[in-house]
């Protein structure tokens, strides 16, 4: 069961909001946080808007930021994104975008992107 998510804000942006969530393999939203304020740096933890048991399977981990200044801690390098997308798209940009730190109900088509490392998001019961 997923009940909360945490990430680390490296670069703050006054008024910026972010959100995190998990989608099923078909791109349907299963669980998400509400909008999380990015006015300060450091670890942010937020409860999810519902709790969902996750069975073994394939899921998309997603985040949205309504700002271009704020930065979340990310994976080690852009090389990790290139490796993850070598045969199938495992990381990229969703056609449907979030708004004000809230994720969309569906992802839409995922376009491969290796220009950024994935954000580090921890989901916990």
pLDDT one-digit tens code per residue, 36-71: 999 999 999 999 999 889 999 999 999 999 999 998
Task: Tell me which of 20-24, 58-62, 116-120 is least confident.
Answer: 116-120
Q: Say which residues have a Cβ less than 8 Å from residue 59's Cβ, sequence separation at least 6.
A: 22, 23, 24, 25, 30
Task: State pTM to two decimals.
Answer: 0.84
The total number of structural domains that make up the chain = 1
CB 17 within 8 A of CB 46: no
Domain that holds residue 6: 2-124
Q: Which of 33, 38, 99 lies closest to 66 in space, CA to CA?
A: 99
Q: Which of 44, 33, 35 lies closest to 9 in space, CA to CA?
A: 44
CB 22 within 8 A of CB 62: yes
């Amino acid at each position: 069961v997923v009940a909360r998510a945490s990430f680390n804000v490296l670069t703050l942006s006054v008024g910026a909001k972010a959100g995190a969530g998990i989608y099923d393999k078909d791109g349907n939203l299963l669980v998400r946080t509400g909008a999380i304020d990015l006015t300060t740096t450091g670890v942010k933890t937020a409860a999810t808007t519902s709790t969902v048991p996750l069975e073994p399977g394939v899921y998309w981990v997603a985040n949205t930021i309504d700002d271009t200044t704020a930065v979340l801690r990310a994976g080690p390098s852009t090389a990790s994104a290139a490796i993850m997308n070598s045969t199938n798209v495992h990381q990229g940009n969703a056609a449907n975008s979030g708004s004000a730190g809230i994720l969309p109900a569906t992802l839409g088509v995922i376009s491969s992107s290796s220009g950024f490392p994935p954000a580090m998001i921890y989901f916990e019961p």
